[in-house]
């Protein structure tokens, strides 16, 4: 068993590196062109190595090693390769390096960019959309909080504005219904505790997910960690999210029953569904 594991480890480090990035600062200082892209490996002279790569990539707990990612500084990384087109130069450079070192060929499938120091990326409509939406939400918080602080406490407050108040939302978040509050809401404490613990798991899962979306120096560590029993919580996160749907459904039914108890003259009907749906989307 130890011999098999040793051979697997040796074969693993004989594979082309999944990620390789030249130093951007050095490339910028040399006024080079930095190209970043994704390549698919193809068999050439080393069919055995390509078979090993396909075998490892078939494991659901491993990265796809048939697709490599490269960031190279041109022309210093491939001074012997000449091509007027940056894309063709980058593609030929990676193909030449991979063929000489591993006996495999590459095909450029996605070119993220080829840029030199000082190049600026234009602002697109998605950037502007994010900016406008973020600014609108921030403005709503400022207006709602200002209105809540300056409005008379004796008068009737506009609920639509108070809903955006940071002060009021913090009060509602930290309120203790046990001390003279509504006992019906106090009974939901265990449920709120379960939601808090589940949110901690959600934050942890998304923190780990960020490592799988970037270029790693040692992807082997994350592949081995994926086989750990605790990783099951991260890999089956979609199942945990189902608890939020169940809790939301329960709270919707519970709030409807509270509404019916507080307003006996108003009967529950399907007419309330659009309002409940809009309220849920707004939250």
Could you tell me whether strands 19-21 and 67-74 are parallel, antiparallel, or unpaired per DSSP bridges?
parallel
Query: Which pLDDT score, from 0 to 100, does residue 6 have?
Result: 38
Tens place of pLDDT per residue across the chain (283 aa): 333 333 467 778 889 999 999 999 999 998 999 999 999 999 988 888 998 888 888 888 888 999 999 999 998 888 888 888 899 999 999 999 999 999 999 999 999 999 998 777 788 899 999 999 999 999 999 999 999 888 866 677 888 888 889 998 898 878 777 776 677 878 888 888 888 888 888 888 788 778 778 898 888 888 888 777 777 777 777 777 788 888 888 888 888 888 888 888 777 778 777 877 777 776 6
Query: Which pLDDT score, from 0 to 100, does residue 259 have?
Result: 81
Per-residue tokens: 133? 């939406």
Please state, in angstroms and as integers, the Cα–Cα distance from residue 222 to each residue in 93, 107, 113, 200, 269, following that order.
Answer: 29, 26, 27, 21, 52
Taking the CA atoms of residue 36, residue 34, residue 106 and residue 212 in that order, the dihedral angle to the nearest 10 degrees is -30
Provide the whole-model pTM.
0.69
Q: In angstroms, rounded to a whole number, what is the distance separating the alpha carbons of residues 243 and 249? A: 10
Query: Which pLDDT score, from 0 to 100, does residue 78 have?
Result: 85
CA 3 to chain centre: 38
Q: Cα–Cα–Cα angle for 204, 56, 73, nearest 5°?
A: 75
- HEC string of the chain equals CHHHHHHHHHHHHCCCCCEEECCHHHHHHCCCEEEEEEEEEEECCCHHHHHHHHHHHCCCCCCCCCEEEEEEEECHHHCCCCCCCHHHHHHHHHHHHHHHHHCEEEEEEEEEEEEECCCCCCCCHHHHHHHHHHHHHHHHHHHHHHHHHHCCCCCCCCHHHHCCCHHHHHHHHHCCCCCCCCHHHHCCHHHHHHHHHHHHHHHHHHHHHHHCCCCCCCHHHHHHHCCCCCHHHHHCHHHHHHHHHHHHHHHHHHHHHHHHHHCCCCCCCCCHHHHHHHHHHHC
CB count within 10 Å of CB 144 equals 21
Could you tell me whether strands 19-21 and 104-116 are parallel, antiparallel, or unpaired per DSSP bridges?
unpaired
Per-residue tokens: 209? 């997910």
Place of tokens 């990676």: 94
40 in Cβ contact with 109 (< 8 Å): yes
177 φ, ψ to 5°? -80, -5
Per-residue tokens: 113? 């960019």
Residues forming a β-bridge with 69: 19, 38
Query: Which pLDDT score, from 0 to 100, does residue 66 have?
Result: 94
């Amino acid at each position: 068993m130890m011999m098999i594991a040793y051979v697997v480890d040796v074969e693993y480090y004989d594979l082309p590196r999944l990620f390789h990035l030249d130093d951007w600062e050095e490339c910028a200082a040399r006024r080079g062109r930095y190209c970043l892209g994704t390549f698919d490996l193809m068999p050439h002279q080393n069919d055995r190595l390509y078979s090993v790569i396909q075998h490892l990539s078939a494991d659901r707990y491993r990265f796809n090693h048939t697709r490599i990612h490269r960031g190279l500084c041109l022309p210093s990384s491939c001074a012997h390769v000449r091509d007027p087109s940056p894309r063709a130069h980058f593609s030929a450079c990676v193909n030449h390096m991979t063929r000489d070192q591993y006996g495999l060929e590459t095909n450029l499938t996605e070119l993220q960019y080829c840029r030199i120091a000082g190049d600026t990326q234009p602002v697109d409509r998605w950037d502007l959309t994010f900016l406008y939406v973020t600014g609108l939400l921030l403005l709503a918080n400022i207006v709602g909080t200002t209105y809540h602080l300056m409005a008379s406490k004796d008068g009737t407050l506009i609920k639509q504005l108070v809903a955006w108040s940071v002060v009021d939302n913090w009060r509602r978040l930290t309120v203790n219904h046990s001390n003279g509050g509504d006992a019906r809401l106090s009974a939901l404490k265990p449920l709120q505790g379960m939601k808090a613990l589940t949110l901690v798991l959600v934050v942890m899962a998304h923190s780990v997910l960020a490592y799988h979306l970037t270029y790693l120096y040692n992807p082997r560590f994350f592949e081995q960690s994926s086989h750990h029993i605790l990783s099951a919580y991260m890999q089956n996160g979609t199942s945990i999210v189902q608890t939020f749907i169940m809790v939301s459904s329960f709270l919707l039914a519970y709030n409807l029953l509270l509404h019916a108890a507080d307003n006996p003259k108003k009967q529950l009907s399907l007419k309330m569904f659009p309002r409940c749906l809009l309220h849920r989307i707004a939250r």
